Structure 1
Amino acid sequence: MSLIENPFFERHPNAHRITSDAEAIEIAGELAVDFARQANERDRDRRLPVVELDRFSGSGLWGITVPKAYGGAGVSFATLAKVIALVSAADPSIGQIPQNHLAALDAIRVTASEEQKRLWFGRVLQGYRLGNAFSEAKSKHVGAFETTVRRDGDAFVVNGEKFYATGALFAHFIHIGAVDEEGRVHLAIADRDAPGITISDTWSGFGQRTTASGNVKIDHVRVGPEALIPAFKGGEAPSSNGSVSQIIQAAVDLGIAQGAIDETIRFVRTQSRPWIDSGQDHAHEDVFTIHQIGDLEVKLHAAEALLEIAGRAIDGILDRPSEAAVAETTVAVAEAKVLTTEIAILATNKLHELAGTRSVLASHNLDRHWRNARTHTLHDPVRWKYFHVGNHALNGIAPPRHAWS
């Protein structure tokens, strides 16, 4: 376990400004090639991807959902999902880290004042990263918060403790989920070096090992009114907030599946032996292996298709989010989340089954794919996705509006 609390990264970024969907996908593909080269070593040694994250956000990809009216590319959410999946196929820890940053941007788009939008969108386009301090390990459930925000003169004071704080260790600013006196959730955005903030890499999960998803302690941290975002408004009225949060999670899982399938094909073609009863000279000629690879490809492409459909559905509710359209979009994203979860688990299991016994040798570290899939797919259990999809189809009941639906 790393105990780094203040890693060195670019504190005054000057990011590239992406202008189109095509450019975003092209840059993501180029970065993915580079990120894949040492993904195995980073996982094995638990070496945090600080340099890689500077390249990732410096490329402009962390600002591609900023609306065009504020200087961003305003790309399709289908494009965003593809970008996250491409990076996650190379290294899903890197792919997961911007999830909360991107979700916070949508919360700002939906609930912030014009002045706040200009401030935070401008900083993000410059290359500043937002880090998550949202979930709490000791509260009743994932949506319950004990962290508080209270007015103190012309500012606000935040107190609490967070866990699963993906991205916080590498962030320039920390967006803290905190409740006011009325129990309403706000995002209080604090400088990561503000007095009272302590970020610790205590993440000990066996998967997604280099996300540094540890603790953030908040002790009388002061933020100005420009940094208090009324995020609760994104759930009070129909909005894209929950769907945006969820589609990024689904894209990470799709990337894990793609990476595992690519690894399976490479290993079977170069290192696996044919089974004794196959009568073949090479493992890739085994008819049962060929069939299983075909099954994985079909299921992967089905998940890709639903993810793109979900992204286009989100695009359709950004400006006029009606109750019915938001419910349908939430269902579309839930369907994508189901298939991306299932293919991630299946593909990472099949990697070892098809590649054979030698694939479990520590020198290959191929179990990282399964560890990553098993860890990340625990985020927002799909057993509830089936329920909400079925309840909407059968009874016309809309899924709940929150970040985990």
Structure 2
Amino acid sequence: MTQVQPKHPAIRLETARQALAVAQELAADFRRDSALRDRERQLPHTELQQFFASGLGAITVPRAWGGIDIPTATLAAIVAIISEADAAIGQVPQNHYYALEVLRVNGSEAQQRRLFAEVLAGVHLGNALAEFSSPAAHQRTTRIEGLRLNGNKFYATGALFADRIPTAARGEDNKEQLVFVPRQQPGVSVIDDWSGFGQRTTGSGSVQFVDVAVSAEDVVPFQTAFERPTTVGPLAQILHAAIDQGIARAAFNDMLAFLRSRARPWPDSGVDRATDDPLTLDRTGRLAARLAAGDALLELAGDAVDVARQQQTAANVATASVEVAKVRAWTTEIALEAGNLLFELGGSRASLREHNLDRHWRNARTHTLHDPVRWKYPAIGNYLLNGVLPPRRGTI
């Protein structure tokens, strides 16, 4: 059994209010060079070390194990705050919190005691879930046989920066497990080959496992988290919705600043300044209202997830999944709308290298493909019209 030490020890946060304040402070720092990091593809090693050393990585640890177990709506608000400052940094902890939720619902007492203690100390969990060779996102070919792990993963967001890499693999009984693999274990190769045109600095590259020795104590049941009602899926999805909400806010606020800074008379337009144009005012006001609705939907969905965590019935988990699907679909649309409107009202100057404002549209277009919105609306409608419960998996 390998005990993993964090790169930097973490502060212990005491309250949700303190966590929000820390997130705001970090966001102010992360925002400063976010455009530069995206433009030059400078990976945020230092910034992510700051994030996990701040104690924010441990805010979902249950109180029984020394954490503050913040409300899901507050967690979503924190992810949105960080994502508004830098969407790539905001996406990286999503898998960390996801793995912690699997540990909470499926880990043994001994596993929870040890791994939660690591996270409280500042350990960062990455992920290695998706595979090129599998026919669907929730199917895997990576295997554990004789406590040896072999397989290839891609879209491993955060693995490049992590201390442990929770990895989806099938055991000898063909049941899916989540293996909390130490990043520095022999046979583990993390490859920086992510070349997406958005979310450029998430470190979402490939991971290879070649005859990696696995400790039985690091293997947590995974498949059973979806065979019964749990909040693993809704939690995963609400955090993705929060990332998109942050991207939308960033695009909107940068649009406002850009238009104000460039305000000047428009020839033959009949208005004194671009910011006096009635159509510009109308589009700006409409998007502001839709952004506010996104915040409200995140809060409603977060409350539904917490109800389901307290009473994990099929009905409660289904309600949480539907509420989360609503906000995931909504924030998908407003993130894309905000990026589009920035271009529409800012013009081609918004994409100039010196501004790099096109990163918001690129980030939204890339991240919203993670779990397509076309999966959400049919699931919502089928539940409301026919009473069909949404499928239990991390992608709906």
TM-score (norm 1): 0.95
2:73 — aligned with what?
78
| In 1: Cα distance, 2:241 partner to 2:294 partner | 9
Note the alpha carbon deviations across 1:128-158, whole angstroms, 9 max, x for none.
Answer: 00111111122111111010012x3xxx111
Q: Give runs of aligned pairs for residues 99-114 of structure 1, distance below 5 A.
A: 99-114=94-109
1:42 — aligned with what?
37
The answer to whether the Cα contact below 8 Å between 1:272 and 1:355 also exists between their aligned partners in 2 is no
Note the alpha carbon deviations across 1:86-122, whole angstroms, 9 max, x for none.
Answer: 0000100000001111000000000000000011111
| In 2: Cα distance, 1:260 partner to 1:216 partner | 32
| In 2: Cα distance, 1:377 partner to 1:280 partner | 37
Report which stretch shifted further, 131-140 or 87-96: 131-140
Q: How big is the shift at 1:188?
A: 0.8
Matched, 1:119 2:114: yes
| In 2: Cα distance, 1:194 partner to 1:60 partner | 25
| In 2: Cα distance, 1:208 partner to 1:272 partner | 30
Q: Give runs of aligned pairs for residues 6-405 of structure 1, distance below 5 A.
A: 11-150=6-145, 152=146, 156-405=147-396
Q: How big is the shift at 1:187?
A: 0.7
Note the alpha carbon deviations across 1:329-368, whole angstroms, 9 max, x for none.
Answer: 1000000001100000000000011112322322211111
One-letter code of the match for 2:311?
R
| In 2: Cα distance, 1:306 partner to 1:224 partner | 41
Report which stretch shifted further, 223-232 or 367-376: 223-232
Report which stretch shifted further, 93-102 or 350-359: 350-359
Q: How big is the shift at 1:273?
A: 4.1
The answer to whether the Cα contact below 8 Å between 1:272 and 1:358 also exists between their aligned partners in 2 is no
The answer to whether the Cα contact below 8 Å between 1:48 and 1:210 also exists between their aligned partners in 2 is yes
The answer to whether the Cα contact below 8 Å between 2:266 and 2:272 also exists between their aligned partners in 1 is no
Note the alpha carbon deviations across 1:58-79, whole angstroms, 9 max, x for none.
Answer: 1111110111111001100000
The answer to whether the Cα contact below 8 Å between 1:289 and 1:354 also exists between their aligned partners in 2 is yes
1:7 — aligned with what?
none
The answer to whether the Cα contact below 8 Å between 2:242 and 2:298 also exists between their aligned partners in 1 is yes
Note the alpha carbon deviations across 1:4-46, whole angstroms, 9 max, x for none.
Answer: xxxxxx9442101111111111111111111000000000000
| In 1: Cα distance, 2:268 partner to 2:348 partner | 16
Give 3-state SS (helix, strand or coil) of 1:133's partner: coil
Give 3-state SS (helix, strand or coil) of 2:179's partner: strand
One-letter code of the match for 1:385?
K
Give 3-state SS (helix, strand or coil) of 1:305's partner: helix
Structure 1 residues 392 and 264: CA distance shift in structure 2, 3 A: same
Note the alpha carbon deviations across 1:156-188, whole angstroms, 9 max, x for none.
Answer: 111100000001000001111001233321011
Gaps of 5+ in 2: none
Give 3-state SS (helix, strand or coil) of 1:194's partner: coil
| In 2: Cα distance, 1:252 partner to 1:301 partner | 15
Give 3-state SS (helix, strand or coil) of 2:271's partner: coil
The answer to whether the Cα contact below 8 Å between 1:274 and 1:284 also exists between their aligned partners in 2 is no
One-letter code of the match for 2:290?
K
Structure 1 residues 292 and 277: CA distance shift in structure 2, 3 A: farther
Structure 1 residues 198 and 173: CA distance shift in structure 2, 3 A: same
| In 2: Cα distance, 1:289 partner to 1:79 partner | 33
One-letter code of the match for 1:122?
A
Give 3-state SS (helix, strand or coil) of 1:27's partner: helix
The answer to whether the Cα contact below 8 Å between 2:234 and 2:321 also exists between their aligned partners in 1 is yes
Note the alpha carbon deviations across 1:374-396, whole angstroms, 9 max, x for none.
Answer: 00000111111000000000000
The answer to whether the Cα contact below 8 Å between 1:274 and 1:286 also exists between their aligned partners in 2 is no
| In 1: Cα distance, 2:22 partner to 2:63 partner | 19
Give 3-state SS (helix, strand or coil) of 2:388's partner: coil
| In 2: Cα distance, 1:228 partner to 1:11 partner | 20
Give 3-state SS (helix, strand or coil) of 1:387's partner: helix
| In 2: Cα distance, 1:222 partner to 1:143 partner | 24
Structure 1 residues 274 and 298: CA distance shift in structure 2, 3 A: farther
| In 2: Cα distance, 1:244 partner to 1:62 partner | 15
TM-score (norm 2): 0.97
One-letter code of the match for 2:68?
A
One-letter code of the match for 1:128?
V
| In 1: Cα distance, 2:243 partner to 2:265 partner | 32
Note the alpha carbon deviations across 1:290-334, whole angstroms, 9 max, x for none.
Answer: 111101111111111111111111111113210011001100000
The answer to whether the Cα contact below 8 Å between 2:6 and 2:122 also exists between their aligned partners in 1 is no
The answer to whether the Cα contact below 8 Å between 1:250 and 1:341 also exists between their aligned partners in 2 is yes
Gaps of 5+ in 1: 1-9
| In 1: Cα distance, 2:357 partner to 2:7 partner | 37
Q: How big is the shift at 1:288?
A: 1.1
Q: How big is the shift at 1:279?
A: 2.6
Runs of 4+ in 1 over 6 A off after TM superposition: none
